[in-house]
Amino acid sequence: MRHSKTLILLTMLFGLFGCDGKKKKDVVFEEFKTQIEKKGMKIDSVEESGLIYISRGEWKLKVSLENARKNFSRDNDKIHISNLVETVWIGQAETPGNWSACKEKIFISLFPSDKDFDGMIHQKITDGFSKVYMLSSDTSQIFLSTDDLDKWTITEKDLDTQANINADHLLLRCTLTFDTIENRKLGILNVDNETLKPALLFAPSMKEKAKKDFGFPFYAVIPVRDFCYIFSEKDFKFFSERLGDVVTDEYRQSGYPITTEVLKFSDKGVEAVGQYQKK
């Protein structure tokens, strides 16, 4: 993936034209164009599908704006465009060659299983979603390939072990709070980098974190990468019957959907025990 100097960013452009065929002002595209030009890059071409081609030196990038567009439409906040620009900018750089300089920033991220992983190291969790490994910071994520493992002279097992260590360390600094609905607890993970919120459910120490208020096994929904709810086994029927609209709305409106499944976390691992229909 990295040897080709090509980076595919997971977003898409649409809506350049209205139903009457007249070109409308595309705020997301224009803001993206302005910001990348300030970084010294330029758009070479735009396909009819909306796929944007950008080059800088020997780097060739294919970018789409779907995720940024959905999130901007939902929040009316240009930070989503700025975050994409930073991802494009940082994505030009190779991952550091020194494993010791990287290992404390290794985490997992979650994507729908039907995604084109394009060389990323990934593992299927359920039929609905898979996990990938990334080098994470507050403003960017670089998804990892076997090229990175070769560079660092580590195995995929080493990578997974380090991701678990880092998740446990981060979980220690997070709080698990809850809302009470009809005397039942609906849990919420609070973490500064909200894009890591669902991934922390997979931290080895999450079992102990959840036991006090939710017991174990526990259940969760993770429709998008910055949103999750946790609830207990005894409250499964109550919450599974009430969370459908919230889950499907979040999934539909976000640029970073994961799954509409209801998940059970137990000593056997993670399994889908149901799924809300996508709208």
Task: Give 202-249 pLDDT, tens digit per residue.
Answer: 999 999 999 999 999 999 999 998 899 999 999 999 999 999 999 999
- Percent helix, strand and coil across the chain, each rounded to 5? 35, 30, 35
Q: Is residue 260 part of a domain?
A: yes
- Both 246 and 186 in one domain: the answer is yes
- Both 269 and 184 in one domain: the answer is yes
Distances (CA, A) of 57 to 38, 42, 92, 259: 16, 11, 10, 38
- Both 266 and 183 in one domain: the answer is yes
- Both 247 and 181 in one domain: the answer is yes
- Both 207 and 232 in one domain: the answer is yes
- Both 113 and 27 in one domain: the answer is no
From 35, 56, 91, give the residue that closes a domain.
91
Q: What is the number of structural domains in the chain?
A: 3
From 59, 91, 123, give the residue that closes a domain.
91
Beta-carbon neighbour count of residue 60 at 10 Å? 14
pTM, two decimals, is 0.71
Distance, C-alpha 203 to centroid of its chain: 16
pLDDT tier at 54, thresholds 50, 70, 90: confident
What's the rounded Cα separation, in Å, for the pair 235 and 171? 24
> In terms of residue numbers, what domain contains 66?
6-91
